[in-house]
């Protein structure tokens, strides 16, 4: 399947401190999503397990978990709660099993236990393993658990919200059967990175020894290998679903798995940040071109009806792409290097796309997303992860710097432990770590560069496995990982690469939008089917 683009209006410790490189407005708070990260890992909060642990299939975990950099478990056990449940999809009942607990990742090189990974797996149906796909989900950050994907996207239960509306507010624990679950197409495994959720290093290793691009991906590889072995799923078509920083993790992981002899059928990239040096919102402001953001600025301005813009949304975006790749690209580097004045024609184009003043664009021709957010709607703060969401400056929704996270984040993070305990029958003595601020300890170096560019990893995986297919899904209104930059990054794989691009009228966590989630399920269902036909 060739590279295609579909545009729908709805639809380092050893840690490297990045000298001279500021991850301005970084993805650390994202996973996607996950604002409000603590300054340090929260200490374990010991709680007494409730009576629910006596129910059949339940497991009361006696271990105290910690997300601290120096934390490690003396040893680990592979224990899990296992419950039977049912959901009705399209009028048909679907029985499934939810398994919640830990598996031990054994280091591929040394053969020694390295980390205890916390996961929740949903399995259904009676097909032989070779015919039943298996999809591993993980958020990013770095430092995010997979709570956003688990509670918000394609599991059989999800948090009900009115997103992107700010009222009524999402309520923690308001979980409903998810009609867009992918469980009717694949078994689903949601897994937390080390130092998040209840995942932790095993001594003599510590959590921080896994906080780096290569170390993290290698540990995920070893978890996947263990899950396949324990559950006899080596023959299953294997998929990786990574969001935000989880997308570059998926690229590195796919290459590591293929190199270890584990075949990957498909990679699903949600709001990807594949090349950190190509995103001007993460690199030193003023030193990288913001070409990849221009169509997003046009989309957001169009949404807020700011400026005189054509009514055909798809046409606006396509013309913005062409402008960004043409006149803007030819002028922006000279502006960055020596402040060479851009042409008045280019300034006029930017004004027409955004409604911002010509003088503003003359002064700030390579405008970073933070500056755009501040200028678009005076007196209002628009969201970074979903710029459709806005709130009056100084209001409660702006206290954490992004109303699109504040409007739903507390409900997402507040739902997970009760869900694990009351429905999945897994209880823990410590609080679930939804996010852990590990950014300043993260080793971003990869492949000889201080910041990761994981397009070569994806290319290597596709070379090892020519049948490997990729789908990338982005939101038009995401000002963290802009859709056009993802298109530019993936285009480096060449026109013959098996890449599908799907963009939606949504933001970073596009699946939180009820209408868009339905579109995504249809696209993912078609993706599963296309891979199975190709194989």
The conformation of residue 422, written as its DSSP 8-state character, comes to I
CA distances from 349 to 80, 330, 335 (A): 58, 14, 16
Sequence-ordered alpha helix ranges (H) in 391-439: 403-406, 409-418
- Look at residue 183 and give its three-state secondary structure: coil
Would you report the helix, strand and coil content of the chain in percent, each value rounded to 5? 35, 20, 45
So what's the pLDDT on residue 125? 86
So what's the pLDDT on residue 50? 40
Per-residue pLDDT of the chain (535 residues), as tens digits, is 433 333 334 443 333 334 334 444 445 445 654 333 333 445 544 444 344 335 779 999 999 999 999 999 999 999 999 999 999 999 999 999 999 999 999 999 899 999 999 999 999 988 898 999 999 999 999 999 999 999 999 999 999 999 999 999 899 999 999 999 999 999 999 999 999 999 999 999 999 999 999 999 999 999 999 999 999 999 999 999 999 999 999 999 999 999 999 999 999 999 999 999 999 988 666 678 999 999 999 999 999 975 444 568 888 899 999 999 999 999 999 999 999 999 999 999 999 999 999 999 999 999 999 999 999 999 999 999 999 999 999 999 999 999 999 999 999 999 999 999 999 999 999 999 999 999 999 999 999 999 999 999 999 999 999 999 999 999 999 999 999 999 999 999 998 889 999 999 999 999 999 999 999 999 999 999 988 666 5
Place of tokens 């990869």: 446
CA distance 389 to 459: 36
Report domain extents, the chain.
4-13+28-34+46-125+133-164+180-278+429-534, 291-406
Whether domain 4-13+28-34+46-125+133-164+180-278+429-534 has CATH 3.20.20.70 = no
19, 495 Cβ separation under 8 angstroms: no
Tokens of 416: 């997970």
147, 168 Cβ separation under 8 angstroms: no
So what's the pLDDT on residue 12? 36
- Look at residue 240 and give its three-state secondary structure: strand
CA distances from 197 to 48, 64, 403, 488 (A): 18, 12, 24, 33
Query: Could you report the per-residue pLDDT of 504-526, keeping only the tens digit for each?
Result: 999 999 999 999 999 999 999 99
**173 HSE (CA, 13 A, CB side):** 5
CA 45 to chain CA mean position, Å: 27
CA distance 267 to 288: 28
271, 506 Cβ separation under 8 angstroms: no
- Look at residue 383 and give its three-state secondary structure: coil
CA distance 506 to 474: 8
Whether omega for the bond prior to residue 511 falls within 30 degrees of 0, making it cis, is no
Global pTM reads 0.91
CA nearest to 84, candidates 99, 100, 96, 93? 96
Whether omega for the bond prior to residue 204 falls within 30 degrees of 0, making it cis, is yes
């Amino acid at each position: 399947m060739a590279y295609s683009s579909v545009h729908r209006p709805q639809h380092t410790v050893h840690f490297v401190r990045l000298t001279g490189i500021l991850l301005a407005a970084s993805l650390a708070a994202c996973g996607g999503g996950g604002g409000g990260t603590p300054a340090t890992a929260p200490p374990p909060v010991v709680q007494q397990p409730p009576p629910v642990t006596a129910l059949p299939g339940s497991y009361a975990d006696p271990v105290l978990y910690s997300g601290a950099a120096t934390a490690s478990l003396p040893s680990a056990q592979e224990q899990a709660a296992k419950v039977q449940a049912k959901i009705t999809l399209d009028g048909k009942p679907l029985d499934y099993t939810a398994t919640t607990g830990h598996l031990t990742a054994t280091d591929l090189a040394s053969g020694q236990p390295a980390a205890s990974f916390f996961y929740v797996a949903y399995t259904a149906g009676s097909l032989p393993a070779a015919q039943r796909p298996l999809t591993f989900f993980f958020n990013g950050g770095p430092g995010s658990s997979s709570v956003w994907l688990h509670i918000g996207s394609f599991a059989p239960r999800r948090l009900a919200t009115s997103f992107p509306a700010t009222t009524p507010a999402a309520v923690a624990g308001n979980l409903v059967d998810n009609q867009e679950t992918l469980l009717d197409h694949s078994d689903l495994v949601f897994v937390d990175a080390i130092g998040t959720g209840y995942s932790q290093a095993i001594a003599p290793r510590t959590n921080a020894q896994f906080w780096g691009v290569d170390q993290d991906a290698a540990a995920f590889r070893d978890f996947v290998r263990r899950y396949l072995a324990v559950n006899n799923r080596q023959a299953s078509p294997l998929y990786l679903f990574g969001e935000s920083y989880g997308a570059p993790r998926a690229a590195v992981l796919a290459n590591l798995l293929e190199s270890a002899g584990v075949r990957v059928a498909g990679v699903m990239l949600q709001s990807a940040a594949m090349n950190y040096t190509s995103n001007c919102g993460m690199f030193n402001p003023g030193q990288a071109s913001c070409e990849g953001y221009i169509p997003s600025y046009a989309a957001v301005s169009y949404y807020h009806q700011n400026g005189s813009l054509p009514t055909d949304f798809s046409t606006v975006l396509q013309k913005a792409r062409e402008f960004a790749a043409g006149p803007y690209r030819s002028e922006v580097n000279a502006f960055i290097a020596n402040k060479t004045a851009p042409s008045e024609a280019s300034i006029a184009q930017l004004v027409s796309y955004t409604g911002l003043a010509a003088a503003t664009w003359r002064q700030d021709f390579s405008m970073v997303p933070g500056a755009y957010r501040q200028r678009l709607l005076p007196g209002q703060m628009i969201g970074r992860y979903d710029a459709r969401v806005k709130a009056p400056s100084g209001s409660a929704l702006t206290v954490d710097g992004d109303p699109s996270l504040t409007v739903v984040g507390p409900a997402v993070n507040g739902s997970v432990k009760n869900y694990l305990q009351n429905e999945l029958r897994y209880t823990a003595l410590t609080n679930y770590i939804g996010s852990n601020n590990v950014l300043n300890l993260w080793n971003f170096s990869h492949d000889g560069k201080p910041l990761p560019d994981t397009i070569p990893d994806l290319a290597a995986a596709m070379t090892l496995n020519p049948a490997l297919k990729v789908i990338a899904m982005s939101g038009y209104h995401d000002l963290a990982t802009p859709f056009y930059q993802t298109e530019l990054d993936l285009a480096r794989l060449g026109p013959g690469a098996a890449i599908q691009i799907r963009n939606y009228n949504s933001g970073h966590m596009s699946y939180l939008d009820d209408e868009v989630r339905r579109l995504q399920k249809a696209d993912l269902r078609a993706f599963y089917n296309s891979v199975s036909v190709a194989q």
